[in-house]
Each structure stands twice: as C-alpha cells, then as structure tokens.
Amino acid sequence: MYRAARYFVFLIILAGAVFWWITAPKRVSETDIAGLTGDAVRGETVFWAGGCAACHSAPGAEGDARLVLSGGRGFASDFGTFHAPNISPDPTHGIGGWQAVDLVNAMRHGTAPDGSHYYPAFPYTSYARADLQDMVDLWAFLQTLPASDLPDTAHEVGFPFSIRRLLGGWKFLFSGPDQVVTADLPPEAARGRALVEGLGHCGECHSPRNALGGIDYARWLGGAPNPAGRGTIPNITPGKLTWSEPDLVEYFTSGFTPDYDSAGGEMAEVVQNLAKLPVEDRRAIAAYLKAVPAVE
C-alpha cells in the first residue's frame, strides 16, 4: 500500500515535470542572431509581406496612419476576443524597450520577453517559418515607425484558455511542419511557398482548424468558417480556385476580381499589403497557389 502510494506520487511528479517541460517557453539566444545586421529597407518588404499593419494599426486606419502600430483592433474567435497590442517604438506602451532578439523570439516561438506565451491569434505558427534575417530586417524597419502611447487592451478570454502556460502545450501539439507543401517546386512557386506559408500567413484564415484551434494541415488552404461570424473564407486550392495566375496577380495588385468587383472584408486589407510587394512576389504567390494539393 505504502509502495503503491509512493509510486502514485512519483507518477504525479513525473507528469508535472513533463507538463512543465512541454509547456516551457522556447527562445533563441543572442548568439543565434549575432552575425545578422538588420536592413530597414528590406525590412519594409518584410513588413508588407507579413501584413503587420492589418492587425496592429488603429481600427479603420488608412494611408500613412497604417504605419502607426498603436494596436487596438479586436479579433473575435471561438476562444474569446483578442486585442492587437501596441507594437510601435514607444518605450512604455509599445516595444521600444525590446531588442532584435525579442522580436525573433516572438515571431519564431511565440514567446514574450518575460517568457510568457503569446496567443496564436498572433500568427507565429506561420511567422516561425520566416528567415531569421527577415525578422532582423523587420526589427530595423519597425524602429523607423512613429511611436504611439496608446495602452494595450486586455484580451477577453475565458477559463481555461486564460492560463497562458497551457499555450505551451498548444504549441507542442499544433506548431506544424517547417514546410506544409514538401514537394519540389520550381523557383517561382518555391518563393511563393515561403511567402504564403511563412510571412503571408495565408493559412491562418484560409485553412480549417480543429476544436482546439490547431490548423488542419490535411486541408491546407481548403477554406474555413469566418471566425468573426459572417460568411466563409474561401478554399484557395486548385479544388475550388478557378482564377488564372494573371487573375490572381491582378487581384493582389488592384483588388479587382475577374468580374471586376473589388476585394471585400479582411481581404481588402490584405490586398493593400500585397500591392506594396514587388510584382515578382505576387506572381510567386499565384504560382504557389496553383501548385498546392487540391482540397475538394
């Protein structure tokens, strides 16, 4: 009896240790990025490819106001409403006190400077696939943007999702592969893969998710319900997407659909970002979308 109890206690401690180990925040070290120098000009392209302004600018911001990353937009989901934080260079309310390594940790591991886990509403599941050089360049660009002293709004997330440590388990289960489409692709489509699966984070909205919010990689880009409620987000695999590559490039450039309606909803915001990329990148995204496995 005594032995059994001791064994039981041992098992609990072991389970606790495994939990603690699995849910521990991951980080890169200073030495991992020691050789990298950020280039703010390249960083601007990373910024538009990553669509940072779409979530982190003020609600309704247009034109140059989209470069003020004061945060404040709300994002409804099955788990609660998340509010984009201030990531402008303000030292108190923004990320002015950060170092490059802090941004790298946020994007690659979803880990905050204090070691807590970010919610995956911040699409680090995708951003993790970007190059360290891209992140360091982005850091250089972010520092050139105007500061805002708008305080952050707390997320409205219920128990048990409010326990941030559990997000370590979420990351363990749902981080996803380094590459979603593993086939050999021609150079243009391969560049598109890096953009779509990484910085562009297209799969975050265009792929269905399981009950715990993990992306269903078997139905990658196969469409999903709109987490904000109304309508659905379309399947953009060859199973449903009938637009030609030039149609797609035009859509990413001007927002015009093949029947000359204009992009709506969140996608209008995405087009504003894509339009700022070199046309070669927009062509690359179109080429990749034609190469992904069809989801019916």
Question: Is there binding between residue 289 and other proteins (CB under 8 A)?
Answer: no
Site string for other proteins, 59-98 (x = CB under 8 A): -x-x------------------------------------
Site string for other proteins, 47-66 (x = CB under 8 A): -------------x-x----
Q: What is the maximum alpha-carbon separation in the chain?
A: 77
Segment interacting with other proteins, rule: CB under 8 A, options 73-81, 107-115, 204-212, 246-254: 246-254
Structure tokens at 96: 């002015």
Site string for other proteins, 222-241 (x = CB under 8 A): --------xx----------
C-beta of residue 93 within 8 angstroms of C-beta of residue 152: yes
Rounded Cα distance between 273 and 196, Å, is: 13
Q: Which of 114, 184, 261, 280 touches other proteins by CB under 8 A?
A: 261
Name the minimum Å distance from CB 102 to other proteins: 33
From residue 3, alpha-carbon distances to 6, 10, 11 in Å are 5, 10, 12
Site for other proteins in 268-287 (CB under 8 A): 268-269, 271-272, 275
Name the minimum Å distance from CB 235 to other proteins: 15
Name the minimum Å distance from CB 173 to other proteins: 32
* C-alpha closest to that of 253 among 233, 284, 235, 279: 279
Q: Which of 184, 259, 280, 296 touches other proteins by CB under 8 A?
A: 259
Q: Which of 263, 277, 285, 289 touches other proteins by CB under 8 A?
A: 263
Please, which residue, 45 or 105, has the CB nearer to other proteins? Answer: 45
Name the minimum Å distance from CB 272 to other proteins: 7
Segment interacting with other proteins, rule: CB under 8 A, options 130-138, 189-197, 205-213, 245-253: 245-253
Please, which residue, 133 or 257, has the CB nearer to other proteins? Answer: 257
Q: Which of 109, 122, 255, 291 touches other proteins by CB under 8 A?
A: 255
Name the minimum Å distance from CB 41 to other proteins: 21
Question: Is there binding between residue 175 and other proteins (CB under 8 A)?
Answer: no
- Residues touching other proteins: how many (CB under 8 A)? 25
Question: Is there binding between residue 260 and other proteins (CB under 8 A)?
Answer: yes
Rounded Cα distance between 261 and 265, Å, is: 13
Count of C-beta atoms within a 10 Å radius of residue 283: 19
Segment interacting with other proteins, rule: CB under 8 A, options 41-49, 167-175, 194-202, 256-264: 256-264
Binding site for other proteins (CB under 8 A): 60, 62, 230-231, 244, 246-247, 249-250, 253-256, 259-265, 268-269, 271-272, 275
